[in-house]
Chains A and B, each alone.
Chain A
Amino acid sequence: MAEGHWSAKHLLGIAELEANDITSILDTAESFREVASRPIKKVPTLRGKTVLNVFFESSTRTRSSFEIAEKRMSADAINFSTSTSSLSKGESMLDTARNLEAMAPDVLVIRHPHPRVPHQLAGLIDSSIVNAGDGAHEHPTQALLDAFTIRRHKGTLEGLRVAIVGDIEHSRVVRSNVLLLRKMGASVVVAGPRTMMPRHAEALGAEVAYRVEDALEGADVVMMLRIQLERQGNSGSQLLLPSTDEYFHLFGLSAERLALAKDDAIVLHPGPMNRGVEITSEVADGARSVILEQVANGLAVRMAVLYLLAGVA
């Protein structure tokens, strides 16, 4: 196992990491990636450790990815979701914390629809906490797996131009990615309809574009976001987007548009994809797409994070 230098109690967000922490996590993930190629994909690193996956918001993908990562490391992985347990998002933070702590987990993986809930729980609880997405705030393991994927193809993150296209306002993937990529010396341009852009988008630390073509021009990496019609708040999705068809015509990633990016540009998507909405099948399944690699890399990165937080050398 590679020795990581990142040592912290929690992974709450990219905001809390320095560039060398990020490098250390990514380096550690490289050695875990190798585990996946073995015939027996299990290592004893977290034997005897209990990891609770606590999801206050449904997410099959992220939860499964964490769960597989935990099992490959021989941890006792237990899932809690609001639908299957007494946990509720209307419960006081202290009660939530006490209930979770009563199960004496070593690590809590938390997904919550509200920003900074994992951060608040971190102040109330002894276990290590991994933020698996808090509202539209952060999703650090997603940004790390994206960075890992980019680095494998480009060798480095420094100096790259990364275009992120979609619903910028409601995306935790964007916030974590912009923070990470900027810390690693990449430049980022975010693009989307004005209705899906926060009104003070410049505060995110990225260049802002309102034409997808402007964002794609000269990009080394293109990251397309899932258009989530279900996550548009009270204002109603139809206020942000008249139709998915119109979105596709204005912002969808087609082969012709991808041609604006660099010749060796790669295409990422955090999944699950809406084919024909944010991306064509031609691009999604094409040679430049690294979307399936992201899924595999997600396991390696999550194993690395769990190892660095709770593993015994």
Chain B
Amino acid sequence: MKEQDPVERGPVQRDPVELVRAAKAIDGFPSGSVLVRGGRVVDPTQSQLAPLQAQAAAQAQASEGAATLDAVCDVLIVDGVVEAVGTDLEAPEGAEILDATGKVVIPGLIDIHVHLREPGQEWKETVASGTRAAAAGGFTAVACMANTQPTNDCRSVTEHIVEEARRAACARVYPLGAISKGLAGRELAEFGDMAKAGAVAVSDDGKPVENAELMRRAFDYARHFDLPVVQHAQDMEVSGDGVMHEGEFSARLGVPSIPAIAEDLMVARDLLLLEETGGRYHVQHLSSGRSVELIKQAKERGLAVSCEVSPHHLLLTDEDVWKAGLDPNIKMNPPLRSAADRDALVAGLLDGTIDCIASDHAPHHPDEKQLDFSAAPFGIVGLETMVSLILDRFVRSGHIDLARFVELLSTVPAQLMGLPGGSLAPGSIGDVTLLDLECKITVDAGSFESLSRNTPFDGWTLAGAPAGTVVSGRII
């Protein structure tokens, strides 16, 4: 086996100070200060109330498994950057005070898989509405997919999204560029140009890169820019015209199905390619238990592979599709799989094989979801339900603690995509999420900030919810 370049293992190597400076250059942080006062601060990247220290040191410490900061204290943000974390911090003159008493204060949450639909499908979502949904859902940053119209496959489209985000967004927006021009799977897009304009990774999401040679070249070429190659893993021949998981329930319903092996085949192929080429590989919305196993083995072999899982794949199965009577709002790709797959995903999340949780927020207009199950488009919205779902079903139930929650939804996503944030260590970007662990909410799709309402979680009652965000010192 070929040893992979050690530099390309682990998180994207970008200087955190540099990242903060770059973000500042784009967004122009507001001057002034915010004191987030009296909350329970949980930050796995800090071990104690430290004096000023560089974020890099803090992150290094975290990866060595240091104890987590978990204490009632204050966070002071000055000119968009975390200045200090400590008890009874003095509010500078003119500082805004954000009372966080009774709340949990964590590094701003980052969702690395959303579809903002702009440009081109603004009836489904826009940068403005999608980031309002992000803020309402407790996220301070999102990474958006390239399957817009036109495709984000060149600098001008990337710049358009970045500009729109600067103007209208309630959360940071990091575009992913396309791997192939027009997502057509034939020619490489201009990775370098898009990266210069702000693309943080490349993906043809919505579609897989089917052509193995194109994928091989994408791995090669992305190394020049240290961009993760992000794959929607699906063998299109095997999945055919399927619309739900191939299993007991598709057999009973006579519904054309998408076998789990459609994902496994693509993951296995890509891992072989990665071993050959080097580079970084990130698998999106993992759904199959066998794919978890493949990634676990690849990680043991030292490959630079990471993966995400979506809340719906952790919580629902194909039986729920059956029970919902083929409601189009429970149709997504990859589909909800068997209980055994779901259990393997949960196990992979708990044992660390799965790196992070991402929503795959895929808005579709209610009119589009009024088609029957087979005809309706794939995808559900997730930004405004994800935090409560994970808090209720995983944190409250004791499967993961708050520190791990922060890793899964903030620290690791930042590392994987090379983003500022994921930490409240002094010097970090001033992005904060507040959580209310006690409140009970009932999901009401009708009141979403998103322009779309396609969720299978409507009406669910959950304990724990986001309670506000701060983006570079700006209270949202």
Contacts and interface: CB of A to CB of B under 8 A. Distances in A.
Nearest to B236: A234
A201 B375 CA distance: 25
Interface in B199-249: 237, 240-241, 246-249
Chain A contact-residue range equals 20 to 34
Of listed A94, A200, A233, residue having the most chain B CB within 10 A: A200
B371 interface: yes
Contacts of B247: 199-200, 203
A137 B253 contact: yes
Contact of A117 (B240, B249, B251, B372): B372
A204 B326 contact: no
Nearest to A120: B372
B251 A116 contact: no
Interface in A184-204: 198-201, 203-204
A175 B254 contact: yes
A199 B370 contact: no
A114 B253 contact: no
Given A90-B375, A119-B325, A233-B240, A204 B251 contact: yes
B259 interface: yes
B370 A233 contact: no
A257 B93 CA distance: 95
Contacts of B251: 169, 198-201, 203-204
Given A115-B374, A135-B374, A203-B248, A235 B255 contact: no
A310 B255 CA distance: 30
A135 B254 contact: yes
B367 interface: yes
The secondary-structure label for the interface of chain A is: loop
Nearest to A176: B254
B371 A92 contact: yes
- Most B Cβ at <10 Å: residue of A113, A114, A135, A137: A114
Nearest to A199: B246
Contact of A116 (B237, B250, B373): B373
A115 to B, nearest CB: 5
Contacts of B255: 115, 135-137
A114 B248 contact: no
A90 B252 CA distance: 24
Interface string B241-277: 1000011111111111001000000000000000000
Nearest to B251: A198
Contact of A94 (B250, B254, B370): B370
Interface-central residue, A115, A116, A172, A235, by most chain B CB under 10 Å? A115
A170 interface: yes
B261 to A, nearest CB: 10
B252 A203 contact: yes
A198 B248 CA distance: 9
A212 B254 CA distance: 22
Nearest to A134: B254
A170 B257 CA distance: 11
A103 B453 CA distance: 31
A115 B326 contact: yes
Contacts of A200: 246-248, 250-251
Contacts of A120: 325-326, 372
Contacts of A92: 367, 370-371
A234 B241 contact: yes
Contacts of A203: 247-249, 251-252
B254 A89 contact: no
A113 B375 CA distance: 10
Contacts of A175: 252, 254
B254 A234 contact: no
Contacts of A169: 251, 254
Contact of B254 (A91, A117, A137): A137
Contacts of B375: 89-90, 114
A171 B246 CA distance: 16
A53 to B, nearest CB: 19
B371 A116 contact: no
Nearest to A114: B374
Give the one of A169, A171, A198 with max B CB within 10 A: A198
Nearest to A168: B251
B63 to A, nearest CB: 42
A163 B326 CA distance: 30
A190 to B, nearest CB: 11
A38 to B, nearest CB: 38
A115 B256 CA distance: 9
Contacts of B374: 113-115, 135
Contacts of B241: 233-234
Contacts of B246: 199-200
Nearest to B374: A114
A201 to B, nearest CB: 6
Contact of A93 (B249, B253, B325, B371): B371
Contact of B250 (A172, A198, A233): A198
Contacts of B248: 200, 203
Contact of B325 (A89, A116, A136): A116
A115 B240 contact: no
A199 B251 CA distance: 7
B254 A233 contact: no
A92 B328 CA distance: 11
Nearest to B241: A234
Contacts of A90: 371, 375
Nearest to A124: B370
Contacts of B253: 115-116, 137
A235 B372 contact: no
A132 to B, nearest CB: 15
Contacts of A199: 246-247, 251, 259
Contacts of A172: 254
A267 B154 CA distance: 64
Contacts of A137: 253-255
Contacts of A117: 372
A204 B255 CA distance: 13
Interface string A132-170: 000111100000000000000000000000000000011
Nearest to A94: B370
Contacts of A135: 254-255, 374
B367 to A, nearest CB: 6
Given A90-B375, A113-B374, 8 more contacts: A93-B370, A93-B371, A116-B373, A137-B254, A199-B247, A199-B259, A203-B247, A234-B241
**Closest 9 pairs between A and B when the two form their complex, measured CB to CB:** A136-B254, A114-B374, A92-B370, A198-B251, A203-B248, A137-B254, A234-B241, A200-B251, A234-B240
5 contacts: A116-B372, A136-B254, A200-B247, A233-B256, A234-B241
